[in-house]
Amino acid sequence: MTGHDTEKKAIVIHIELTAPGGPHPAGKPVPVSVSVVGTTELLLVGVLDGSEDGSRYPRYRPAVSLGGQIVAAPPAAEDPLVAALRVSDFVRLAPGEPFDPCASRSLATFETFVPEAPGSYVYTLTLDTQSSAPEQWLGRINQTDVPEVLALVSQVPRFRVTSPPLVVEVR
Amino acid sequence: MSAPSDPTQGTSASLSGVADLEHRLQEVVPSDGRVAEQREASGLRQEPGLRQETPGPQETPGLQRDVQFQLTRGRYRSGGQGYQLELRVDVDGVRPQNRVSADFFSTSGGTTSYFGSFIVHFPTVTVTAAQVVLQGTGSFTFNAGAPVVRVTVPRRTTAQPQGDATVQFLTASGQPGAGYVCPFVSPYFRSVVLEQDSVTGAVPFVSYDTSALPQPPTSPSRVLTVVKSYAEAGIELQMSGFSNIVATSAAGPDLLWNDAELHNAMVQHFSGFANVAQWRLWMLVASAHTGGYRGIMFDYNDACQRQGAAVFYNAIQGNTPQAQRAQLRTYVHEIGHAFNLLHSWQKNLAVPPQPLGPNGGFGDLSWMNYVQNYQPLSGAGGEAAYWAAFPFQFTDSELVHLRHANYRDVIMGANAFGTGAAEIAPELFDEPVEDQSGLALEVRAKEAFAFGEPVVVELKLSTTDLRGRNTHSHLHPDTDFTHVAVTQPSGRTVLYRPMLRHCSDDAAVVRLDQDNPAIYRSAYIGHGADGHYFQQPGEYRVRAQYLASDGSRIVSPVCRIRVRYPVTQADQEVAELMMGEESGKLLTLLGSDSPALASGNAALQEVIDKHGKHPLAVYARMVRGVNAEREFKNLTADNELTIRQPDTKESIQQLTLVADASARGEGVDNITLNMVMRRLAGAQAKQGDLEQATGTIDKMVRTFEGKQLRPSVLEQIRRQAERTKAALASETKERPAQKKK
């Protein structure tokens, strides 16, 4: 799956989910790994407080479905009191360099969903940086260095990309 | 600052209570009904009071075990003048946190103000037949001279009323400090008034029976309301008698609420709203938020935060047990934010940072965790696991915060959400919790200053008492009676310290009444003993405190001042010249010939010479003009006194330009302009031109008449003008005219 930014220079971004091979036992969460790769140098931010429930950017929206029905997805955001975005949250990637956005904060949906019944479960993840205002990236608790952070936010390409479906057989 | 003395030392309250203690213990007084209330506040399961087997060197064997004692738990408060102590004892009952904490309040004149707090972690507990003694070293918000705290609580049976707690402070070497006798107030550690309003069509949550769905065996079945949930934590939510229905039009035409609309609704509908620290909270049951949230503590962005929260009915509605349970959690959760509780995984972001619970906080079984994020150290996580294990309670560390955190860290309207640090003790500038002073203080300034522009504020002291009040007129912050705190854009709060402090021990009584409702002073606070205070662009918050003749502490509301970014190269250059250390001193002194300030004078002259048309040049001209108007005495290294005579030509030239620009609204503030025009008239009179000087004073009156000032202020200016003209005439007669230069 690729994403194309809306700015001058086209950037192709791949997001990929992987899981240990072979059938997965029912009754246990599936350990899903995430990797983001760009074809050019780019600035990204990993999963933050509020990214998963969509209350701040970047949005990382996971979903798990079975038989075409969503069986796990983040609930509506509880509240928007999310932690500050820091300069150190930005990661500059070289072309082709893989990035694990869950290194600092995992995705609770993947981590806590337990497939109880056998079947083919489909895992997907959508990464969305298309905020309508850069302030939608900021936190609401002790947010400092706003000019510096917003300057970096402006360098993150704007795109919305969904991973290819990761199919996990559960037995 | 006339800082209050140490409330742990000296005489603060009578120690007579100690002597009375044993006697009172013998009194048999019928129950006053507080026992039932205490059971409620102590939690779910009523337990007997501290048991005799509690370790302690003074333990008395043989205590009757069938006697039910009052819990050693709850809130006590001393009275009287000087300092009052609100004490919280938490070593008994359900989920005791083994802490003793307290807040000091100072009473002065007609005002009662918060002073400071302390907490004793894990005090030693000694139980005898007659009393419980708790002792430990406290952590104070100020430097306490007697930091060891000993609290004595008489043991009372459940048939007796609670006894007074006695607090004795001790130095590290064991010398007694101050003592306080604190009568019992409540079994709750804090009491907050909760006003809950709702929008048309939204149905507020009532209660949830925890047995309606499976729950952990450690969680007894009970019917929980929001009030009950907090009561179990030892916090009393008193529902106010007000409950308004807010029209949905307040949310705008889209019927969705954003944070600004919520804040505005709070200001409009919260009966107890005030921009002060107070134990009051507003909860709105709204329809929906623009962000689709379940709830929000929306008051996180202004000077007095955490006063309001909202829950969104469209997102949380439902009559199923699951929906009711989730509603209860959302209500308690959002109110928790108003108590300055962060999410379970955010505790380390607090100032100062707090430790995280298991799994980075995601393993907390707390009202403040997210159900879907719950991740225990072992086993499955997520929503189902959370509800299977959640006993409907806060964690222990959250209980310590709710019950014992420093006053300003918990009370609504005080420390910002998630924040508690400051360079000075901000409580010194807290609004008094009680104010009968009859006086009001206001700090005013223009909304925005250019970068490098001298920041001048106007201080206004007025009476709120129609009968009038007498006080002193030492309103300028270069006296010991008025102090100014500046919160810089970084959040650092500093006390403005004048370069020169003017001693003012004269009476200078002023009567403020209907004829003279206020007095005003203009103060340059841009530079002081610590250098420049407004050294970077951004928003500053300024508030002042005035100590009245009767001891009342009058605190102004916050005045916001914005310092703009420089736009042009000239802006930058002028700012650099104006913000040199010596330039700052010259602005404070209104000029000087001191050789030590030569480079400052050179910088100001460069502003005039190279940037004469720049808006900030008026300040350089004012300093040069005022200084030139007066003579300057210089004691040389050889102890020779040289006197530089007034340079009236230079003074008139510079001050005329300042006055003209200011009259057009492009220069200094009104009070400073008043000073400038009188100095200008003085220079003209010294030059021998009394007619021109008189004309300048008359022009001053006309200038202010054109500025639409209040009649009482204008009348003061007219009287001042007449006095000035008479003085100038008198001085001119006594002095031969100075030869025009």
ipTM of the complex as predicted: 0.80
> Residues B134-156: what's their mean pLDDT?
94
pLDDT for position B509: 81
- Residues of chain B in contact with residue A55, where contact means CB-CB under 8 angstroms, are 291, 293
**What is the domain class of B437-563 according to CATH?**
mainly beta
Which residues, other chains included, contact B562 with Cβ-Cβ below 8 Å and sequence gap of 6+? B447, B448, B449, B538, B539, B540
- The answer on pLDDT for A168 being more than 50 is yes
- Residues of chain A in contact with residue B372, where contact means CB-CB under 8 angstroms, are 74-75, 108-109, 112
Distance from CA of A59 to the nearest CA of B (A): 14
Nearest CA-CA partner of B338 in B192, B187, B240: B192
pLDDT for position B23: 29
B452, B576 contact by CB (below 8 A):
yes
pLDDT for position B50: 53
The per-residue DSSP string of B521-566 comes to EEEE-SEETTEES--SSEEEEEEEEEE-TTS-EEEPPPEEEEEPPP
Tokens representing B512?
A: 């403020």
How, if at all, do strands A119-128 and A90-93 pair?
unpaired
**Cα Rg, chain A, nearest whole Å:** 16
> Residues A84-111: what's their mean pLDDT?
94
What distance in Å separates the CA atoms of residue B704 and residue B460, rounded to the nearest whole number?
18
Which of B21-25, B206-210, B736-740 is predicted with the least confidence, judged by mean pLDDT?
Answer: B21-25
Nearest 5°: phi and psi at B409? -80, -15
Distance from CA of A69 to the nearest CA of B (A): 19
Neighbours of B188 (CB within 10 A): 25
B665, B677 contact by CB (below 8 A):
no
Give CA angle at B278 (B276, B284), nearest 5°. Answer: 95
Which of A92-106, A132-146, B54-68, B717-731 is predicted with the least confidence, judged by mean pLDDT?
Answer: B54-68
Give CA angle at B538 (B496, B610), nearest 5°. Answer: 85
Highest mean pLDDT among B312-321, B463-472, B658-667: B312-321
What distance in Å separates the CA atoms of residue B554 and residue B546, rounded to the nearest whole number?
5
| B587: enclosing H helix or E strand | helix B581-589
Tell which wins on pLDDT, A36 or B502. Answer: A36
> Residues A84-98: what's their mean pLDDT?
94
pLDDT confidence tier of residue B59, bands split at 50, 70 and 90:
very low
Give the burial class of B500: count Cβ atoms within 10 A of its Cβ; 0-12 exposed, 13-18 middle, 19 or more buried: exposed
pLDDT confidence tier of residue B150, bands split at 50, 70 and 90:
very high
Among candidates A77, A84, A141 on the partner chain, residue whose Cβ is nearest the Cβ of B417: A141
pLDDT for position B187: 96
Neighbours of B404 (CB within 10 A): 24
> Residues B66-92: what's their mean pLDDT?
92
**Hey, is B436 helix, strand or coil?**
coil
What distance in Å separates the CA atoms of residue B684 and residue B738, rounded to the nearest whole number?
10
CA distances from A133 to A82, A138, A140, A154, B735 (A): 17, 10, 15, 10, 70
Query: What are the helix and strand counts (H, E) for chain B?
Result: 17, 35
- Residues of chain B in contact with residue A73, where contact means CB-CB under 8 angstroms, are none
Give CA angle at B233 (B408, B293), nearest 5°. Answer: 75
Which of A37-51, B4-18, B437-451, B584-598 is predicted with the least confidence, judged by mean pLDDT?
Answer: B4-18
B190-410 and B437-563 agree in CATH topology:
no
- Residues of chain B in contact with residue A108, where contact means CB-CB under 8 angstroms, are 362, 370, 372-373, 375, 381-382
Tokens representing B85?
A: 């102590």
> Within an 8 Å CB–CB cutoff, is residue B294 touching chain A?
yes
What distance in Å separates the CA atoms of residue A82 and residue B297, rounded to the nearest whole number?
12
pLDDT confidence tier of residue B15, bands split at 50, 70 and 90:
very low
Q: How many CB pairs under 8 A join A and B?
A: 81
What distance in Å separates the CA atoms of residue A107 and residue A154, rounded to the nearest whole number?
25
Beta strands in B424-501 (DSSP E): 434-435, 439-444, 448-449, 456-463, 469-472, 482-487, 493-495
Ordered alpha helix ranges (H), B381-509: 383-389, 396-404, 407-410
Which residues, other chains included, contact B212 with Cβ-Cβ below 8 Å and sequence gap of 6+? B321, B324, B325
> Within an 8 Å CB–CB cutoff, is residue B342 touching chain A?
yes
Tokens representing B206?
A: 């009532």
- The answer on pLDDT for B706 being more than 90 is no
- The answer on pLDDT for B40 being more than 80 is no
* CATH homologous superfamily, domain B190-410: Collagenase (Catalytic Domain) (3.40.390.10)
Map out the domains of chain A as residue ranges: 13-166
Nearest CA-CA partner of B578 in B549, B608, B550: B608
Q: Do B345 and A140 touch (CB under 8 A)?
A: no
pLDDT for position B467: 86
B616-633 residue pLDDT tens = 999 999 999 999 998 877
Tell which wins on pLDDT, A110 or B253. Answer: A110
Which of A97-101, A105-109, B86-90, B702-706 is predicted with the least confidence, judged by mean pLDDT?
Answer: B702-706
Q: Do A80 and B417 touch (CB under 8 A)?
A: no
B219-241 residue pLDDT tens = 999 999 999 999 999 999 999 87
Nearest 5°: phi and psi at B211? -85, 0
B556, B441 contact by CB (below 8 A):
yes
> Residues B455-474: what's their mean pLDDT?
88
Which of B309-313, B347-351, B631-635 is predicted with the least confidence, judged by mean pLDDT?
Answer: B631-635
> Within an 8 Å CB–CB cutoff, is residue B291 touching chain A?
yes
> Residues B708-724: what's their mean pLDDT?
87
> Within an 8 Å CB–CB cutoff, is residue B420 touching chain A?
no
Q: What is the number of residues in chain B?
A: 741
Which of A18-22, B28-32, B47-51, B209-213 is predicted with the least confidence, judged by mean pLDDT?
Answer: B28-32
Tokens representing B314?
A: 């469209």
> Residues A68-91: what's their mean pLDDT?
92
B209, B421 contact by CB (below 8 A):
no
- Residues of chain A in contact with residue B291, where contact means CB-CB under 8 angstroms, are 55, 77, 80
> Within an 8 Å CB–CB cutoff, is residue B359 touching chain A?
no
Tokens representing B25?
A: 């213990």
pLDDT for position B639: 59
pLDDT for position B638: 61
B303, B285 contact by CB (below 8 A):
no
pLDDT for position B507: 52
Nearest CA in chain B to A77: B293
> Residues B5-20: what's their mean pLDDT?
55
What distance in Å separates the CA atoms of residue B401 and residue B368, rounded to the nearest whole number?
13
pLDDT for position B147: 95
pLDDT for position B710: 81
Amino acid B105 reads F
Give the burial class of B33: count Cβ atoms within 10 A of its Cβ; 0-12 exposed, 13-18 middle, 19 or more buried: exposed
What distance in Å separates the CA atoms of residue B90 and residue B101, rounded to the nearest whole number?
8
Which of B251-255, B347-351, B521-525, B643-647 is predicted with the least confidence, judged by mean pLDDT?
Answer: B251-255
> Residues B625-651: what's their mean pLDDT?
79
B534, B477 contact by CB (below 8 A):
no
> Within an 8 Å CB–CB cutoff, is residue A112 touching chain B?
yes
Tokens representing B177?
A: 């400090």
**Hey, is A89 helix, strand or coil?**
helix
Long-range contacts of B669-672 (CB under 8 A, 24+ apart): B669/B446, B669/B456, B669/B458, B669/B522, B670/B458, B670/B522, B670/B704, B670/B707, B670/B709, B671/B458, B671/B520, B671/B521, B671/B522, B672/B456, B672/B522, B672/B622
Which residues, other chains included, contact B166 with Cβ-Cβ below 8 Å and sequence gap of 6+? B17, B18, B21, B151, B152, B153, B179, B180, B181, B182
- A119 CA to centre of own chain: 25
Map out the domains of chain B as residue ranges: 16-186, 190-410, 437-563, 569-734
Nearest CA in chain A to B315: A76
> Residues B201-221: what's their mean pLDDT?
94
Give the burial class of B734: count Cβ atoms within 10 A of its Cβ; 0-12 exposed, 13-18 middle, 19 or more buried: exposed
Tokens representing B532?
A: 């420049």
CA distances from B599 to A127, B596, B642, B654 (A): 58, 8, 21, 19
What distance in Å separates the CA atoms of residue B111 and residue B84, rounded to the nearest whole number?
12
Distance from CA of B225 to the nearest CA of A (A): 20
- The answer on pLDDT for B593 being more than 60 is yes
Q: A13-166, what's its fold?
A: Immunoglobulin-like (2.60.40)
- The answer on pLDDT for B28 being more than 60 is no
Nearest CA in chain A to B386: A112
What distance in Å separates the CA atoms of residue A170 and residue A123, rounded to the nearest whole number?
12
Nearest CA-CA partner of B320 in B213, B394, B247, B421: B213
> Within an 8 Å CB–CB cutoff, is residue A142 touching chain B?
yes
B257, B290 contact by CB (below 8 A):
yes
A45, A85 contact by CB (below 8 A):
yes
What distance in Å separates the CA atoms of residue A167 and residue A23, rounded to the nearest whole number?
10
pLDDT confidence tier of residue B19, bands split at 50, 70 and 90:
very low
B616, B589 contact by CB (below 8 A):
no
- The answer on pLDDT for B211 being more than 60 is yes
B667, B618 contact by CB (below 8 A):
yes
pLDDT for position B697: 95
B506-550 residue pLDDT tens = 457 889 988 888 988 888 999 887 788 998 888 888 989 887 877
Nearest CA in chain A to B381: A112
- B578 CA to centre of own chain: 32
Beta strands in B278-414 (DSSP E): 280-286, 295-296, 308-312
pLDDT for position B38: 53
- The answer on pLDDT for A6 being more than 80 is no
The residue assigned the tokens 């409620």 is B40
pLDDT for position B585: 84
pLDDT confidence tier of residue B14, bands split at 50, 70 and 90:
very low
Please, which residues bridge with residue B471 across strands? B510
